[in-house]
Amino acid sequence: MMKEESKTNQNNDENKNENTEENKEETKDEPFEITPDMIIWKAMYLPDPIVRAVWELGFQTPTAIQLACLPTAMKGRKDIVGAAETGSGKTLAFGIPILNGILKDKEFELKKLKQNEEESEDSDDADDSDGNNDDGHTSNKKQRVEKKAAVAEEDSDDSGGQMEDFGGGIGRVRVFDVVELGNQKTKIIKGQKKLRALIITPTRELAVQIEKHLKAVAKYTDISICLVIGGMAAPKQERILSKGPDIVIGTPGRLWEMIEGGNSHLSQIKDIRYLALDETDRLLEKGHFAEVRTLLEHINKDEEKKRWRQNFVFSATLTLAHDLPNRLGNLKSKKKKEAMKLDKLLSLVGVRPKAKVVDLTTQVRSLKPASLSEMKLYSATVEDKDYYLYYFLRHNPGRTLVFCNSINNVRRLTSVFTLLETNPLPLHAQMHQKQRLKHLERFSSLDNALLIATDVAARGLDIPHVQHVVHFQVPRTSENYVHRSGRTARASREGLSLILIEPEEATTYRKLCSTLKKDKNDLPDYDVDMRIFAAIKQRVNLAKAIESLEHRTKRERSDKSWMKQMAEEADLVISESDQDSDSGSAAQSHSQLLTELKNKRKELTKLLARPFKRLLSNVRN
Ligand SMILES: Nc1ncnc2c1ncn2[C@@H]1O[C@H](COP(=O)(O)OP(=O)(O)OP(=O)(O)O)[C@@H](O)[C@H]1O
């Protein structure tokens, strides 16, 4: 299992990354011996620094998807299309080959560089011995010296640069760019660090997590990795990219924005040697498709370079086709739909013929990890779901992730469950990025924690020890059901997923079951002890009443301040008598509201002070 520390810290603070670089320097030179028990990793062609890192992370053997992908992927010649259950280690199935490829490329480039230097030194000697020296113009020898200097400066200068091919395909080295300044003989030599790999993900949180994961595995290499995600301040983003990272991990919108804005490091995007798409099917759904298509079309503009690149296309639900978008055709048969969806997707990415397809989900049932238990609970009304959720949370302490279909629902549940003292942390797309990461970090660090989220948290997030997932609303697609549930029972740990179904959702639930090849009655029912239901209801109803009163008082306050502001902007003077006559009764009703609120809060505090366990024992006695 991955060390808790490296998984839980979702903070993408730049300084922290720099510290990691320093730590890397300190630890890189410590002695490390490859022992026979690491043989399985060596058999997968992993270079020693990566074996060392995965071993220290506690990964003793590759997971099934890693076993199936690594041997081919590490050779660097074939593209990989991979599908496997959630939490099965897909990130490293594409991450390790990318790191390995970059290490090999760098090694090759260095070798070529040395060879060139030696050759040029030899020919320098020959030139000198010929006595063929310069006569006021720059001599061949001088030019070569400058060329070498440019190569040497590659590491310190981040702007401009031309690609020069040393032959052999992967041996392209960005060597030099010589600029003459007016009639002065000064030459400015520019170099640029190469952008070697791009990893595209649908959400910022997933990008942050992949960065953490890959950095941990690249710990003993000199490979640099950075993020390009929405929510990060533009100057900071520019600063990070100006360091010329080898790998960029990003979300499509921000990536495209930076490319269009003319970022110099990203101007090399067509030259990348490795391209990975994680949660690919999500990337090609509504909301991302237009941006991803523009981005991929841009990357794929040069056919020659496209052929030269190794592609990785991964997801847990690559082959499911719940609702094929019209743009991908209008086929009736599900099988055809699935094939079509995949074909379109692969051609858009630029996956080369003869790609290796590793699909460990051909049996739809194997989309679900074996350690995951799934249950369902039919709710007679929408309102009842609040009671069931509270009941579930009180009965199942631990780390629980609740999924809603809308931001409004996340907000409402957060308010009500805060009043019920379950300390929920909300997560949705309308929150500031910093806050989103903070909540994830907090959720990961508390033993008893509740995260209420939209599907922004459904894909890829690897939060340690999530014991329960509750689908507060039936997800709109079967893919989302699989991904949501997959936040628990990761890497062979036990986990429980509970879906709450209200009457209006019955059809969606039936469809979901049919796509997942389940009968709607397959999932066992979650049992609720109805004898304590009245007590549960009392608490939840009170919390809901308080929430609605709070909402009203807030609205009144904001209406009032809005009117005041409008009056001020219009230079209107509101006389005291106006105010008096207007606000007399309003003030009275407002104060009644506040009193009611205060009383209800008191009542709820009293109820919540009664230990829940006593309720249960009263019933049993
Ligand atoms: N070889 C391994 N041995 C043990 N644990 C591993 C191994 N490889 C990865 N892991 C751990 O397994 C967990 C899940 O990995 P990862 O996030 O890559 O899964 P995934 O298949 O991408 O899931 P999802 O489909 O939900 O995105 C992580 O905590 C990771 O550190």
Q: Beta strand pairing status for 163-165 and 172-174?
A: antiparallel
In a domain, 515, yes or no: yes
Do residues 429 and 297 both lie within one domain? no
Mean pLDDT, to the nearest integer, of 97-120?
Answer: 90
Closest Cα partner for 462 from 433, 434, 493, 432?
A: 493
Last residue in a domain, options 478, 501, 528: 528
In a domain, 508, yes or no: yes
Mean pLDDT, to the nearest integer, of 335-341?
Answer: 64
Do residues 279 and 206 both lie within one domain? yes
Q: In this structure, what token pair is assigned to residue 126?
A: 């020959």
Cβ contact 85:361 at 8 Å: yes
Atom 10, ligand 1: residue with shortest CA distance: 89
- The fraction of the chain above a pLDDT of 90, given in percent, is 54
Q: Is 40 in the pocket of ligand 1 (CB under 6 A)?
A: no
Which residues constitute the domain of residue 252?
Answer: 35-110+190-320+343-367
Closest Cα partner for 201 from 247, 237, 236?
A: 247
User: Distance (Å, rounded) from C-alpha 461 to C-alpha 24?
Assistant: 25
Do residues 294 and 376 both lie within one domain? no
Predicted local distance difference test score (pLDDT) of residue 363 = 56
Residues in the chain: 621
Atom 8, ligand 1: residue with shortest CA distance: 89
* pLDDT grade for 126, boundaries at 50, 70 and 90: low
In a domain, 200, yes or no: yes
CA of 40 to the centre of ligand 1 (A): 17
Closest Cα partner for 484 from 279, 290, 342?
A: 279
DSSP 173-234: EE---EEE-TTS--EEE---PPP-EEEE-SSHHHHHHHHHHHHHHTTTS---EEEE-TTS-H
Do residues 388 and 499 both lie within one domain? yes
Closest Cα partner for 620 from 534, 531, 535, 526?
A: 531
Most confident of the following: 123-132, 494-503, 514-523:
494-503
Strand partners, 276: 199, 312
Q: In this structure, what token pair is assigned to residue 283?
A: 């990337």
Q: What confidence tens digit (pLDDT) does each residue in 519-533 have?
A: 888 899 999 988 888
Q: Is 62 in the pocket of ligand 1 (CB under 6 A)?
A: yes
Do residues 469 and 486 both lie within one domain? yes
In a domain, 572, yes or no: no
CA of 66 to the centre of ligand 1 (A): 10
3-state helix, strand, coil in the chain (%, to 5): 55, 10, 35
Q: Which atom of ligand 1 is nearest to the CA of 279?
A: 27
Closest Cα partner for 109 from 155, 174, 196, 28?
A: 174
When divided into structural domains, the chain yields a total of 2
Do residues 361 and 372 both lie within one domain? no
CA of 89 to the centre of ligand 1 (A): 3
Burial class (CB in 10 A: 0-12, 13-18, 19+), 538: middle
Q: Is 90 in the pocket of ligand 1 (CB under 6 A)?
A: yes
Q: In this structure, what token pair is assigned to residue 429?
A: 């797309």
Give the CA angle between residues 489, 491, 492 to the nearest 5°: 65
In a domain, 438, yes or no: yes
Packing angle of the helix pair 533-569, 576-609 (nearest 10 deg): 160
CA of 78 to the centre of ligand 1 (A): 23
User: Distance (Å, rounded) from C-alpha 182 to C-alpha 168?
Assistant: 37
Lowest-pLDDT range, 141-145, 374-378, 486-490? 141-145
Query: Ligand 1: which of 320, 490, 497 to mutate, most ligand atoms within 8 Å of CB?
Result: 490
Backbone angles phi, psi at 34, to 5 degrees: -80, 120
Do residues 510 and 480 both lie within one domain? yes
Packing angle of the helix pair 252-260, 289-299 (nearest 10 deg): 50
Kindly report the pTM of this predicted structure: 0.75
Predicted local distance difference test score (pLDDT) of residue 152 = 38
Residue 75: how many other CB atoms lie within 10 Å? 13
Q: Is 369 in the pocket of ligand 1 (CB under 6 A)?
A: no
CA of 133 to the centre of ligand 1 (A): 62
Residue 301: how many other CB atoms lie within 10 Å? 11
* pLDDT grade for 557, boundaries at 50, 70 and 90: confident
DSSP 397-444: -SEEEEE-SSHHHHHHHHHHHHHTT--EEEE-TTS-HHHHHHHHHHHH
Cβ contact 82:277 at 8 Å: no
Torsion, CA 553, CA 559, CA 562, CA 568, rounded to 10: -100
Q: Is 47 in the pocket of ligand 1 (CB under 6 A)?
A: no
Closest Cα partner for 314 from 515, 464, 95, 487?
A: 95
Predicted local distance difference test score (pLDDT) of residue 488 = 94
Torsion, CA 54, CA 56, CA 57, CA 63, rounded to 10: 40
* pLDDT grade for 127, boundaries at 50, 70 and 90: low
Single-letter amino acid, residue 505:
E
Closest Cα partner for 103 from 38, 170, 166?
A: 170
Burial class (CB in 10 A: 0-12, 13-18, 19+), 140: middle
User: Distance (Å, rounded) from C-alpha 316 to C-alpha 332?
Assistant: 23
Q: Is 66 in the pocket of ligand 1 (CB under 6 A)?
A: yes
Do residues 244 and 277 both lie within one domain? yes
In a domain, 145, yes or no: no
Cβ contact 248:197 at 8 Å: yes
In a domain, 176, yes or no: no
Longest dimension (CA), the chain: 109
Atom 20, ligand 1: residue with shortest CA distance: 87
Single-letter amino acid, residue 50:
I
Predicted local distance difference test score (pLDDT) of residue 158 = 33
CA of 88 to the centre of ligand 1 (A): 5
User: Distance (Å, rounded) from C-alpha 330 to C-alpha 285?
Assistant: 16
Mean pLDDT, to the nearest integer, of 347-364?
Answer: 84
Q: Is 92 in the pocket of ligand 1 (CB under 6 A)?
A: yes
User: Distance (Å, rounded) from C-alpha 215 to C-alpha 12?
Assistant: 12
CATH of the domain at 42: 3.40.50.300
* pLDDT grade for 366, boundaries at 50, 70 and 90: low
Could you identify the residue written with the tokens 């002065």? 184
Query: Ligand 1: which of 67, 85, 90, 91 to mutate, most ligand atoms within 8 Å of CB?
Result: 91
Strands of the sheet with 274-277, listed across from one edge: 225-228, 247-250, 197-200, 274-277, 310-315, 80-83, 356-359
Closest Cα partner for 199 from 304, 94, 293?
A: 94
Do residues 87 and 236 both lie within one domain? yes
Lowest-pLDDT range, 4-13, 62-71, 139-148, 194-203? 4-13
pLDDT of residue 551 exceeding 80, the answer is yes
Cβ contact 42:34 at 8 Å: yes
Q: Is 85 in the pocket of ligand 1 (CB under 6 A)?
A: no
User: Distance (Å, rounded) from C-alpha 288 to C-alpha 322?
Assistant: 17
Do residues 351 and 418 both lie within one domain? no
Could you identify the residue written with the tokens 């692969």? 346
Q: Beta strand pairing status for 310-315 and 399-403?
A: unpaired
Q: What confidence tens digit (pLDDT) does each residue in 588-613 have?
A: 777 888 999 999 999 999 999 987 76
Last residue in a domain, options 367, 401, 432: 367
Cβ contact 295:331 at 8 Å: no
In a domain, 589, yes or no: no
Q: What confidence tens digit (pLDDT) does each residue in 66-91 have?
A: 999 999 999 998 999 999 988 999 99
Do residues 50 and 195 both lie within one domain? yes
Q: Is 491 in the pocket of ligand 1 (CB under 6 A)?
A: yes
User: Distance (Å, rounded) from C-alpha 421 to C-alpha 444?
Assistant: 19
Q: What confidence tens digit (pLDDT) does each residue in 165-193 have?
A: 323 333 333 333 333 333 333 333 345 69
Closest Cα partner for 229 from 257, 250, 202?
A: 250
CA of 314 to the centre of ligand 1 (A): 13
Q: Could you tell me if the ipTM is greater than 0.95? A: yes
Q: Which atom of ligand 1 is nearest to the CA of 65?
A: 21
Could you identify the residue written with the tokens 């079509």? 340
Q: Which atom of ligand 1 is nearest to the CA of 316?
A: 25
Closest Cα partner for 619 from 539, 529, 541, 536?
A: 529
Do residues 396 and 350 both lie within one domain? no
Q: What confidence tens digit (pLDDT) does each residue in 296-333 have?
A: 999 999 998 999 899 999 988 876 544 433 444 444 55
Last residue in a domain, options 528, 554, 577: 528
CA of 460 to the centre of ligand 1 (A): 9
DSSP category for residue 264: T
Report how many helices (DSSP H) and strands (DSSP E) the chain contains, helices first.
22, 17
Q: What confidence tens digit (pLDDT) does each residue in 445-457 have?
A: 999 999 999 999 9
Closest Cα partner for 89 from 67, 73, 71, 72?
A: 67
Name residues whose C-beta falls within 8 Å of residue 455's C-beta, 6 or more positions apart in sequence: 403, 405, 475, 480, 483, 484
